[in-house]
Structure formats: C-alpha cells, structure tokens
C-alpha cells in the first residue's frame, strides 16, 4: 500500500511529530510506502511529492514547523483542482491520504472523501478551536510561549510602572488568551467571544496602578471593544486573501495611556507562538494522533478524523469535525474574571 501525507494551513508545533509517527508505524507495522506531498493540497494537485523513509524522520520529533511545507491552497477553489488530485494520486499509485490541518484542510478532506478519495484527517491548530476534539497539538506550546512572555513582560512593566498589553493569537476563539492569561496572572483577559468595555478595562487598570502594581492585559487578536467592529475590523484582505486584523493590542495600549495618563506599551507576540520546538504534551498528543491515523487507514476507515476525548483517541466523522467552532464558554471566562483588576 502507498499512503500520502500532507500538512495544510498555518504551521503548528507538533506537525513533524505526526509525520514521524505516520512514517514509523506505516513502514514498520504495515510495510507501506509513505509519500510526502509538499505545500498542503498544492502537493497532490501539482504532483509535488517525494518518498519519506525512516531516515527522513529520524531527527524531526523535536523540530517545529513542518518538513513538508504548508499552504492554504484549496483545490475546490481551483479550476479542475479535484480532478488534478485524482489524476496525480492514480499516477503515483497512492491509495490513501493522511491530511494534517485545521478547519479548511479538514473541510477539503471531507469533500474529497465524498468525491471518492480515501482521506483520514488529523486536527491541528494552536487556537484549540476545533469542536470535535478536546485539544489540538500546538495549543500547549503556544500557551507556554505566551506565558513565558507574560512573565518576562511583568518584570519590565513593574520596573517602569507601565501598563503592558500583550496581544496573543486567536481570531475567533480566546483559548490562548484565557490559558496564558490565567497562567501568567494577567489582570485583564480579553477574548473575541466577548466584546469588552474600554471603561471597565480602564477601571481595572487604574485599580492596579493605585495598588502600585503594573497592570498586565492579555488580549486575543480577534477581541473587540463593544461597538468597535467598524473601527478595528476593516475586513481588508492582503494579496493572499488573508483578512487583516486591526491591531487591537496597540489600539488598546493607546486608549489606556490616553485615559489614565500612565505609560502603556503593547507587545504583539504573533508568530513566535507558532515557532520552535513543541512541548512534551504536544509531542505526545501529535504522536498519538499520527499512530491512530495509521490505524484508521489500515482499517479502510476513511472520512474520519482522529480526536482526543478525555485521555482516549477516538475517530469522528470529518463532517462533525468541521461543523462546530469551539469557543470559550461564559463559565470559563467567569473563572478568570475573579482575578481582574
Ligand atoms: O489559525 C492559526 C493562526 O495562528 C491564527 O491564530 C492566526 O490568526 C492565523 O493563524 C495567522 O495566520 P498567518 O500565518 O497566515 O498569518
């Protein structure tokens, strides 16, 4: 059997751990040939691939990024894209695909399965916002990086008695903000799920200053002030179709400085949260996802995604996997609010 593997969407620490597990188990337990497709769905569409052997995955467990490269190419948005994929797979004798990706990549995987291609999905996103799995790998690493940054920013903020606004990733869900904010002892945490009152933020910040501490505000990149959609979410797209966000961290730091008369700084953590080596937790989760994806292919169980439920890895239908965005529930946010101000 010949099995293809690809990584799509934004990269994420742990992708290489999945690839390694797929290759090790695929070759050693099943005697498969494993083929790596480059640049997400562009690889199988344009026939960009190479065989991956045991030596190729020897040193990649700890490495961030993806040895296969990634892209946001969607074959359903390319003329004849699906037909091209089918032709390449037939030409290269590839029987099945393991697609590692987020909502978009898994959405394509679902459609391809409906169109007769055997695909098994592996969920990935640092945002942890896929409804069908308790956790995605990459999230733990991102939270660690953000928490370490908050710890470091606190000491410099205290030295200068400034407010520090830390902007973390999370366009639609505030999981990174919530977890890193709680772990880093933030004085305010702002998430996309809940438009915030700037007056309230200023009140919390002022209270903190009055107690002679430097306030730390953690804000998810997709968070917005009440009624602030027009000011900050322009909807403008870059040359690659990526919607630009408004820079909420910098905006909020300026608001705080103007309204409190205190110095305020913004730090945008950006892609540092996605780079570098995965944490032990993410290495283990990614490895287990890879092993179970191989099992699904071996069983001929296509159109499914591996998922974490409690401590078990289960299979869920790809349709279910992409149906629901997992956002921060009110009760979880309320836990954090106890520490505001
Ligand atoms: O979905 C993961 C994510 O890291 C988001 O949190 C972030 O908004 C987006 O990707 C950034 O994408 P890009 O790498 O294309 O800038």
- CATH at residue 67: 3.40.50.450
- Domain presence at residue 217: yes
* 169 Cα nearest atom in ligand 1: 6
- Domain presence at residue 337: no
Of the residues 59, 104, 127, 129, only one is catalytic, namely: 127
Instruction: Please report the sign of the dihedral spanned by the C-alpha atoms of residue 290, residue 296, residue 301, residue 304.
Output: negative
* 102 Cα nearest atom in ligand 1: 1
Does residue 245 sit in the same domain as residue 303? no
- What is the predicted pLDDT for the residue at 333? 98
β-pairing verdict for 304-309 and 188-190: unpaired
240 CA distance to ligand 1 middle (Å): 13
User: Residue 260: which of 340, 339, 163 has the closest Cα?
Assistant: 163
Can you give the residue range of the structural domain that contains 216?
139-275
- What is the predicted pLDDT for the residue at 233? 55
101 CA distance to ligand 1 middle (Å): 12
CA-nearest residue for atom 13, ligand 1, is 10
CA-nearest residue for atom 11, ligand 1, is 10
pTM of the model: 0.95
- What is the predicted pLDDT for the residue at 230? 53
- Domain presence at residue 338: no
Does residue 130 sit in the same domain as residue 147? no
ipTM of this predicted structure: 0.96
Give the count of domains, the chain. 2
Does residue 131 sit in the same domain as residue 158? no
- What is the predicted pLDDT for the residue at 229? 62
* 171 Cα nearest atom in ligand 1: 8
d(CA 172, CA 245): 11
127 is catalytic: yes
12 CA distance to ligand 1 middle (Å): 10
At 48-76, the pLDDT tens digits run 999 999 999 999 999 999 999 999 999 99
β-pairing verdict for 33-37 and 49-51: antiparallel
Check which CATH number belongs to the domain holding 206 and give it.
3.40.50.460
11 CA distance to ligand 1 middle (Å): 9
Alpha helices by DSSP H, the chain: 15-30, 42-46, 81-92, 103-114, 139-160, 175-183, 198-210, 229-232, 248-260, 280-298, 318-321, 330-337
- What is the predicted pLDDT for the residue at 308? 98
User: Residue 73: which of 45, 113, 36 has the closest Cα?
Assistant: 45
| Consecutive 10-residue averages of pLDDT for the chain (341 residues) | 97 98 98 98 98 98 98 95 98 98 95 97 96 96 98 97 97 97 98 96 97 96 82 64 78 96 96 97 98 98 98 96 92 97 93
The answer to the question of whether 272 is labelled as a binding residue is yes
Does residue 91 sit in the same domain as residue 167? no
Cβ count within 10 A of residue 238? 8
Does residue 85 sit in the same domain as residue 205? no
The answer to the question of whether 271 is labelled as a binding residue is yes
Site residues for ligand 1, CB cut-off 6 Å: 10, 102, 125-127, 169-171, 221, 242, 274
- What is the predicted pLDDT for the residue at 61? 98
- What is the predicted pLDDT for the residue at 42? 97
- Domain presence at residue 333: no
Does residue 8 sit in the same domain as residue 127? yes
User: Residue 107: which of 41, 45, 49 has the closest Cα?
Assistant: 41
């Amino acid at each position: 059997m010949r099995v293809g593997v690809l990584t799509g969407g934004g990269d994420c620490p742990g992708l290489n751990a999945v690839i390694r597990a797929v290759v090790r188990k695929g070759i050693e337990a099943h005697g498969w040939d494993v083929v790596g497709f480059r640049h997400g769905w562009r690889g199988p569409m344009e026939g960009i691939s190479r065989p991956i052997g045991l030596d190729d995955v020897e040193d990649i467990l700890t490495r961030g990024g993806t040895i296969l490269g990634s892209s946001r190419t969607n074959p359903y948005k390319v003329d004849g894209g699906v037909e091209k994929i089918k032709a390449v797979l037939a030409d290269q004798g590839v029987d099945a695909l393991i697609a590692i990706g987020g909502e978009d990549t898994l959405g394509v995987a679902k459609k391809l399965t409906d169109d007769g291609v055997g695909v098994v999905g592996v969920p990935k996103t640092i945002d942890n916002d896929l409804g069908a799995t308790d956790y995605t790998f990459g999230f733990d690493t991102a939270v660690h990086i953000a928490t370490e940054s908050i710890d470091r920013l606190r000491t410099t903020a205290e030295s200068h008695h400034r407010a520090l606004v830390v902007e973390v990733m999370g366009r639609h869900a505030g999981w990174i903000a919530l977890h890193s904010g709680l772990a880093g002892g933030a004085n305010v945490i702002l998430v996309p799920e809940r438009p915030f009152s700037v007056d309230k933020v200023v009140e919390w910040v002022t209270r903190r200053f009055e107690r002679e501490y430097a306030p730390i505000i953690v804000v998810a990149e997709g968070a917005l002030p009440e009624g602030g959609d027009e000011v900050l979410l322009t909807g403008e797209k870059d040359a690659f179709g990526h919607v630009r966000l408004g820079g909420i961290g910098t905006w909020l730091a300026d608001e705080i400085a103007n309204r409190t008369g205190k110095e305020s700084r913004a730090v945008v953590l950006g892609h540092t949260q996605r780079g570098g080596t995965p944490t032990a937790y993410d290495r283990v989760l990614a490895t287990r996802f890879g092993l179970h994806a191989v099992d699904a292919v071996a069983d001929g169980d296509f159109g499914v995604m591996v998922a974490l439920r409690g401590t078990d890895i289960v299979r869920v239908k790809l349709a279910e996997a992409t149906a629901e965005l997992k956002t921060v529930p009110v009760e979880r946010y309320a836990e954090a609010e106890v520490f505001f101000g």
